[in-house]
Structure 1
Amino acid sequence: MQGKPFKIISDIGSGLNYDKKGLKELIHLICSQQCSQVVVNYQDRLVRFGFELIKDICQEHGVELTVINQTKAESSNQELVKDVLSIITVYSAKLYGKRSHHNEKIIKTNQELFKDN
């Protein structure tokens, strides 16, 4: 890749959310053949689930997909455990995020109520 123009695409959000601006842009670039190579640090940073689908889309459009930090081949049991832990992690983060947002609203309401006193 040295000497070739490149674009960094990043997203913030759940790996289970496929409605992300960066992911949509990447898929558009691949499908419109506006890129020849996609490089990711870890495959689960691209998508939590469905990496094989992205890989197939790249192959279909002649785009090379490179994963820099690949883990060793996992058994199907190890892969299943990893998937279940990923799901738990994502939903735990959502749950704590909702609690945090709810608590912020309560604090703000209380501050407004007691501000007048």
Structure 2
Amino acid sequence: MYISVGAAAEVLGVSISTMRRWESENALLPSHRTLGGHRRYEMATLIEKFSLHKSEVTVERHAIAYARVSSSDQKMDLESQKERLAAYCHSEFSSSEIISDLGSGLNYKKAGLKKLLQSIRERRFTHLILTHKDRLLRFGSEIIFSLCEANDIEVILLDDDQKMSFEMELSSDVIELMTVFCARLHGRRSHQNKRRAA
């Protein structure tokens, strides 16, 4: 298991500045760095190097799982997502929370999404769990993934190995866009008709 520099410092009972000094002195180097340049330490290496007992090492792992569907007629799918996420979190994490939204993947003002972003900013959890990246947002998930990486939060996609073909993904995106803009157009026409009738 790989952990952040902050978690490694906590395990060893030292400050983050000490961890960085050890790195500059080649006394303790990170096992690797993420694409964003963040240090990651392998727990097994720390245990061996510092003669720690596994029973003495505890790292709190708290997950937030996020589920979303676009419309109310997909509520069964939402419940299915939540059940699957809950089962995974229960088996992998000491504590977890599920946040869910009912709304378009193009709506950036959903209550659940706002709560998730606030939790990322405050580093309230260590792992973000999704069934698929488009459950987060239809476009722009990578921005939130970058925020997670900058805050030492690991993103886990349960269906990452079940990649859609380019054509299927493009079709899904186009349908989502058409649904949103058609709803806006019908809403505007309905509002105009009510004004004319008044």
If the length of structure 2 is used for normalisation, what is the TM-score?
A: 0.43
User: Over residues 56-115 of structure 1, what are the superposed CA-to-partner deviations in whole Å (9 max), with x where a residue is unaligned?
Assistant: 11111110111112342755x76544433321133334556x39xx4xxx8xxxxxxxxx
Q: 2:168 and 2:174 mapped to 1: Cα distance?
A: 10
1:51 to 127, 141, 144: 141
Larger Rg: 2
2:104 to 14, 17, 26: 14
1:41 to 125, 131, 134: 131
2:144 paired with 1:26: no
2:119 aligned counterpart, secondary structure: helix
- Structure 1 unaligned blocks of 5 or more: 107-117
2:95 aligned counterpart, secondary structure: coil
The aligned counterpart of 1:113 is none
User: Over residues 21-77 of structure 1, what are the superposed CA-to-partner deviations in whole Å (9 max), with x where a residue is unaligned?
Assistant: 1111101111211110111112111111101111111111110111112342755x7
Corresponding letter in the other structure for 1:5: S
Q: 2:176 and 2:108 mapped to 1: Cα distance?
A: 15
Corresponding letter in the other structure for 1:72: K
Percent of residue pairs identical: 36
4+ residue stretches of structure 1 with deviation over 3 A?
A: 77-82, 92-96
- Structure 2 unaligned blocks of 5 or more: 1-88
If the length of structure 1 is used for normalisation, what is the TM-score?
A: 0.69
Equivalent pairs counted in the alignment come to: 103
Distance 1:62 1:14, change over 3 A: same
Counterpart mapping for 1:45-84 below 5 A: 45-70=135-160, 71-72=162-163, 74-75=165-166, 79-84=169-174
Q: 1:79 and 1:11 mapped to 2: Cα distance?
A: 21
